[in-house]
Chain A
């Protein structure tokens, strides 16, 4: 353990502590990116998107195909004679192209899936998006096969980097934290400091009043959905090289991200960031201290937060339905 007062041990332990905290930050970063999209869509449009994990899934596979060239094995694409697939344009290209692609997917989803269901009950929205998530997952499973693909980290960031105190740390994880931080700041600025953000925030408070003032909300709502989807796409691209790529990753990332939203508070970007970091750190610390409890721990954390503060840490009562 690291709580030893002896000087030498403390130094050795400190780097371990910081490594754990950095790992937690990186783990949390992916959840933050997915959760912000979930949270703003839920907060402004009052739409529950169980298919948000599918957007992450699309982002990861799109990222894989733009970055590398893969040999599909086991799926229908292989049967149909596609020996190699993918553009192989490298990671930076993926980081630009994929969010745009997933943004468009998000727009289509808002227009054709979400909008007809705004007036239906919550349960119907959940059921519909749950069904959609299954369909997307199955399509990927059929096309690419159920096995995992290796999303290799780009060569310029694949090795360890030497940090002061910490020592060797995987460089890619630092990039994930950095990219996430930049994207989160951009989205925060978009919502807090632009006219578009003002309309969105006003619509969150009182959609009817905004419309009475002569502002059409359907377009800002479309944008919110698109931006939320694009964030899931970014998460898919930066998260892809961290884990194996297979059709189940979408739902695997969705459940913790929902916890992040619930812990942070619906509709709050800072809440999603706080919740994501909390979940990520909890996971990382428990993995280091008591690995068998790591997954259970995040659910316990969510339960405790909800019992103590049902609207989430930074949520407001009136936004929550």
Chain B
């Protein structure tokens, strides 16, 4: 999606678009691509095809070496990275404490599943509500200072949550061992998440993937709607020039807090899904390395675009789980890899690529794709 402030949904409703439409009978391709229906539809198709392409398609999956479980994990982290990027890419605030929302929601979801209800939908709802409330409280304090202070403060609060879960609250969270008592029930009381989808298991795999995929599409639609609304425009205005936004009469602080809460809530959705996915909440989900990972994913994929961070999440997890040859689906940095060849170097290489992206392509891989696509179109004589 484009970043130009003039091309928004409401601009399309008024005068300019009418003139356009009288001249051309059908909306142009580039305009159709920008429409919400197209974005949601394309996301649905992509999410539906992804596990098949990744894990079961004849040639592609052999090349990729992917597997079903990783496909859902990529979507989950994709939601997290997309939510994070609402803050970094669209509001210009760099949070180093998003692990608090991811891990906090994961713990809340886990506790909810044991104590209240094991319905997956309710678990996700509980985790998300917890993350939203937490974001409201933390944002209230952290947003008192802008720029670097915000990064440092969010980092500090994230760490505080980690240490809270580690010892003072270890009676509830099970401390160092992580929360192991997660109970995941059946979706709507009838679909067991571990079972394959009858008739469509070649395409989608398990009900769990359907559940995660549906929520992913929902989150993308929500984020797209928010960002293309006048409300989301204000986020971008704050990113571009906070002072000017303030002078125009906008309550910048309130918009920033709201962006923080939306971003934290999406991280909460992802964190709750992570609990359902693994039936386990590792303590590391609150550690600051988790915040660091989502930063890397978003920047690699490309901040300032909706789908870049999802791509970044996929790439990161792919390198972490497949290319490195580690079988366990755990957070990295927890055990030292002493494998031969690439295995030991994957984190270093990701770090170097990350630095290179910041220095050379601040718009990330997604931005690079768009540049290449625009270049090809120009070569073909097309008008951009």
Could you list which residues of chain A lie within 8 angstroms of chain B, going by C-beta atoms?
42, 48, 74, 76, 116, 121-124, 126-128, 130-132, 134-135, 138-139, 141-142, 145-147, 248, 251, 255, 258-259, 261-262, 291-293, 295-296, 299-300, 302-303, 306-307, 310, 320-321
Chain A residues near B144 (CB-CB < 8 A): 306-307, 310
Chain A residues near B338 (CB-CB < 8 A): 74, 145
Are B141 and A255 in contact (CB-based, < 8 A)? no
Are A127 and B299 in contact (CB-based, < 8 A)? yes
Chain B residues near A131 (CB-CB < 8 A): 296, 351, 354-355, 358
Q: Which of A48, A128, A300, A321 contacts B358 (CB 8 A)?
A: A128
Q: Does B152 touch A at the CB level, under 8 Å?
A: yes
Question: Taking CB as reference atom, which chain A residue is nearest B289?
Answer: A251
Q: Does B292 touch A at the CB level, under 8 Å?
A: yes
The DSSP consensus for interface residues of chain B is helix
State A306–B350 Cα separation when bound (angstroms).
Answer: 35
Q: Does B359 touch A at the CB level, under 8 Å?
A: yes
Are A306 and B159 in contact (CB-based, < 8 A)? no
Are A292 and B167 in contact (CB-based, < 8 A)? yes
Q: Does B157 touch A at the CB level, under 8 Å?
A: yes
Are A142 and B348 in contact (CB-based, < 8 A)? yes
Are A142 and B352 in contact (CB-based, < 8 A)? no
Chain B residues near A307 (CB-CB < 8 A): 141, 144
A42 to chain B, nearest CB (A): 7
Known: A127-B295, A142-B345, A321-B148. A306 touches B153 (CB 8 A): yes
- List the 3 closest A-B pairs by CB distance, nearest first: A146-B336, A299-B160, A292-B167
B107 to chain A, nearest CB (A): 15
Are A138 and B355 in contact (CB-based, < 8 A)? no
Chain B contact-residue range equals 35 or more
State A123–B299 Cα separation when bound (angstroms).
Answer: 11
18 extra interface residue pairs, beta carbon distance < 8 Å, beyond A131-B354, A147-B336, A251-B288: A74-B336, A74-B338, A121-B92, A124-B362, A134-B350, A135-B348, A135-B352, A138-B348, A138-B351, A141-B336, A142-B348, A146-B336, A258-B156, A262-B149, A262-B152, A299-B160, A299-B163, A303-B157
Chain B residues near A299 (CB-CB < 8 A): 156-157, 159-160, 163
Question: Taking CB as reference atom, which chain B residue is nearest A78?
Answer: B338
Question: Taking CB as reference atom, which chain B residue is nearest A124?
Answer: B358
Chain A residues near B333 (CB-CB < 8 A): 248
Chain B residues near A121 (CB-CB < 8 A): 92
Are B351 and A126 in contact (CB-based, < 8 A)? no
State A130–B350 Cα separation when bound (angstroms).
Answer: 12
Are A130 and B163 in contact (CB-based, < 8 A)? no
Q: Does B99 touch A at the CB level, under 8 Å?
A: no
Chain A residues near B148 (CB-CB < 8 A): 42, 48, 122, 126, 321
Are A132 and B355 in contact (CB-based, < 8 A)? yes
Are B156 and A255 in contact (CB-based, < 8 A)? yes
Are A134 and B347 in contact (CB-based, < 8 A)? yes
Q: Which of B93, B159, B170 contacts A255 (CB 8 A)?
A: B159
Question: Taking CB as reference atom, which chain A residue is nearest B353?
Answer: A131
Question: Taking CB as reference atom, which chain B residue is nearest A42?
Answer: B148
